[in-house]
Structure 1
Amino acid sequence: MKMNLTKMTMLMTMMLTILSTTSTTSLLMMWMMMEVNLMSFLPLMTKSSQMKDQPMKFFIIQSLASSIMLMSILMNSMTESPVSSSIMLMSSLLMKMGLIPFHTWVPMIMNPMNWENCFMLMTIQKIIPTIIISQMLTMKLIMLPICLTMLVSPIMTIKQTSTKKIMAYSSITNSPWMVISMMNSSSQFFTFMSVYTLMTMMITKKMKENSIMFINQMMMKEMKKKVSIIINILSMSGMPPMMGFFPKWMILQSTISYSTTVSMSMIFSSIMSTFIYIKMMSPVLMITPMMKKIKLKKNELENDININLMGTILLMTMKSS
């Protein structure tokens, strides 16, 4: 990612808005920071030559969600009813994050994006709505959309062949984990977000380097690259003993103490995601292309495989303690 002054300014603004949101208790201030965050992301979207009307679509969807949120704040202040029970506020935040039933815009917007913007949309853009949901809404209110998202989103991934759409649905599946982790504790959210960001960064980097837009393009790559991509994707789904399994295990242990429904949805979601990704990726590993084999350098190592192997060390540490 080439860094010019515009990109640096926008990224700095996005980071500052996230820090401001974590340090305020005012809902109006949080709303304002979320809008500044959105306005910082839009110029980065328009820089891409492939983006035609996508930034405008994204802006309309986000503006509609912001308007609904502002209206819910005003209505609650007029009627003096608690914000935590506002369905209107919940709907606006679900639309902001792209959770079911307001999820259809995520794959549509991500498909023509470049990989850097996809990475930012899947990680940085989700932090502020996650903070607002966890602070302002109760688990009882958001339980249904969160459980639906975790169960339905992996099923929607089955028929997808575009890697960007697969990543979009993966992001939708992981969003409820972010919300639940933030509701449990801020340290859990930080742990999950760090691992999730690292995994997403490695996958998007690999996809960009190898120019992979569809799954069948992976068949033409050498085995080491194919294995590294598949390991990363399985790590995101929460398959043990990969790196992505441990933050999910931590969240599950905390959640099972107060909600059996949510924890069961989390388990089923991870099982379905893992099964679907293995089913999707198995032809890529089984079929070898009839082409001249590329000789790899002896000292060449796939860093993402090494990072995921750290999961085994963590498992041993946890078992021994």
Structure 2
Amino acid sequence: MKINNQIFLTLIIMFSSNILILTSSNWSFSWMLMEISSISFIPLMSLSKKMSYQMMKFFIIQSIASSLIILMLFMKQMFIKQTPLMIILLSSFMLKTGLFPMHFWMPQIFSFLSFMNCLMISTIQKISPLILISQTMKYEMINISLNMSLIIGSINLMKQNKTKKMLAYISLFSMPWMISSIYMSKYLFFTFMSSYTFINMILIKLLTNMNMKSINHLWAETKLNKINIQSSIISIMGLPPMMGFLPKWLVLQNLTMNNIILALIMILTSAMISLNLFKMSMLNLFLTMPKKKKMNKSLSNYLMMTMMSINFTILPYISMLYKN
């Protein structure tokens, strides 16, 4: 009961800090809220007895990034606007969020986290730093990092066998879309994050129920399990007609409407390369016959319901397309 209360309190603090930062126009206050969100996540990591080293690594990385961010923001506000300052500030944000080329810490830490903590870092822990990125950096400054994150995330996702590390690279692949959406509007960012979080929750629930620590275990699963896992990942990658497609379509539509053609072309090109690489890696799993394994009926029903959710929760987003 005590642990449940601790988790509940931590979640309240994280949600509250992210909501407040959306309304804040003060740099110092925004930075403080971002730090509250980061620090409040540490108690969730400490629930695992094996997490002391990884928790310290996470804390050090976040502390270094946060210290550089607040220092650069103050210098920027005072008098300095040179390119080196902006490069350091951009690098600090990349380290904080795990964008390319500062993504090295994410797969290592993800591999020791619980699935639920992986979900937290991939979703709610991204909101505050992404909002600050949109308020301090011009979109053109981070184009290269965004597109490399798409490509590197997809290539490593294709090569990765461990499911938790796969979640880290899925997060890396999705961050450019998150950042593009928040540059367009906060409403679009909320739409994208809601969809992304929901699909991640389904995927993580499936992985938890199957106790799947490695994607190699999928070879021994039933065909239904394979389809459910792969469809969830494909939905996150943004292929139609899955739920993850329309938020990305809305991002592309807004990029076009705002005449950000170069960014649009780069994101589309990177996404096509990434999706083709991912398709090749998934093809073998579709063609492989499963071993004879009995399916738990209740689990089967649950998985079918989640698949229906992924496909049919796309409908509310259709109206948003016509609204624009």
Superposition pairs of residues 148-297 of structure 1, within 5 angstroms: 148-257=148-257, 258-294=259-295, 296=297
Whole-angstrom CA distance in 2 between matches of 1:45 and 1:158: 28
Q: 1:308 aligns with which of 307, 310, 315?
A: 310
Whole-angstrom CA distance in 2 between matches of 1:264 and 1:87: 24
Equivalent residue number for residue 117 of structure 1: 117
In the alignment, is the contact (CA less than 8 A) between 1:18 and 1:33 conserved in 2?
A: yes
In the alignment, is the contact (CA less than 8 A) between 2:151 and 2:271 conserved in 1?
A: no
Superposition pairs of residues 54-69 of structure 1, within 5 angstroms: 54-69=54-69
Task: Return the letter of the residue paired with 2:209.
Answer: E
Task: Return the letter of the residue paired with 2:206.
Answer: K
3-state SS in 2 of match to 1:158: helix
Q: CA deviation at 1:45?
A: 0.6
Q: CA deviation at 1:315?
A: 8.8
Task: Return the letter of the residue paired with 1:283.
Answer: N
Equivalent residue number for residue 74 of structure 1: 74
Q: CA deviation at 1:3?
A: 6.1
In the alignment, is the contact (CA less than 8 A) between 2:21 and 2:128 conserved in 1?
A: yes
Query: Would the alpha carbon gap of residues 213 and 134 (structure 1) be closer, same or farther in structure 2, given more than 3 Å must change?
Result: same
Whole-angstrom CA distance in 1 between matches of 2:105 and 2:289: 35
Whole-angstrom CA distance in 2 between matches of 1:95 and 1:191: 25
Whole-angstrom CA distance in 2 between matches of 1:126 and 1:34: 10
Query: Would the alpha carbon gap of residues 21 and 320 (structure 1) be closer, same or farther in structure 2, given more than 3 Å must change?
Result: closer
Task: Return the letter of the residue paired with 1:203.
Answer: L
User: Are positions 1:19 and 2:19 aligned together?
Assistant: yes
Whole-angstrom CA distance in 2 between matches of 1:320 and 1:29: 38
3-state SS in 1 of match to 2:301: coil
Q: CA deviation at 1:2?
A: 9.9
Whole-angstrom CA distance in 2 between matches of 1:92 and 1:319: 35
Query: Would the alpha carbon gap of residues 300 and 77 (structure 1) be closer, same or farther in structure 2, given more than 3 Å must change?
Result: closer
Higher mean C-alpha deviation, range 277-286 or range 179-188: 277-286
Whole-angstrom CA distance in 1 between matches of 2:254 and 2:149: 20
Identity value in percent: 33
Q: CA deviation at 1:152?
A: 2.8
Query: Would the alpha carbon gap of residues 286 and 139 (structure 1) be closer, same or farther in structure 2, given more than 3 Å must change?
Result: same
Stretches of structure 2 that go unaligned for 5 or more consecutive residues are none
Higher mean C-alpha deviation, range 18-27 or range 278-287: 278-287
| TM-score for both structures, normalised by structure 2 | 0.90
Whole-angstrom CA distance in 2 between matches of 1:285 and 1:5: 42
Q: CA deviation at 1:153?
A: 2.2
Whole-angstrom CA distance in 2 between matches of 1:243 and 1:298: 22
| TM-score for both structures, normalised by structure 1 | 0.91
Q: CA deviation at 1:150?
A: 2.1
- RMSD in angstroms over aligned alpha carbons? 2.6
Q: CA deviation at 1:63?
A: 0.5
Query: Would the alpha carbon gap of residues 290 and 82 (structure 1) be closer, same or farther in structure 2, given more than 3 Å must change?
Result: closer
Query: Would the alpha carbon gap of residues 2 and 245 (structure 1) be closer, same or farther in structure 2, given more than 3 Å must change?
Result: farther
Task: Return the letter of the residue paired with 2:7.
Answer: K
Query: Would the alpha carbon gap of residues 134 and 45 (structure 1) be closer, same or farther in structure 2, given more than 3 Å must change?
Result: same
Whole-angstrom CA distance in 2 between matches of 1:89 and 1:120: 24
3-state SS in 1 of match to 2:199: helix
In the alignment, is the contact (CA less than 8 A) between 1:241 and 1:315 conserved in 2?
A: no
Structure 1 residues 253-310: Cα deviation after superposition (integer angstroms, max 9, x where no partner): 1112422222122223332333333323333332224435447469925222102222
User: Are positions 1:139 and 2:139 aligned together?
Assistant: yes
Whole-angstrom CA distance in 2 between matches of 1:140 and 1:319: 26
In the alignment, is the contact (CA less than 8 A) between 1:150 and 1:265 conserved in 2?
A: no
Whole-angstrom CA distance in 2 between matches of 1:14 and 1:298: 32
Higher mean C-alpha deviation, range 283-292 or range 6-15: 283-292
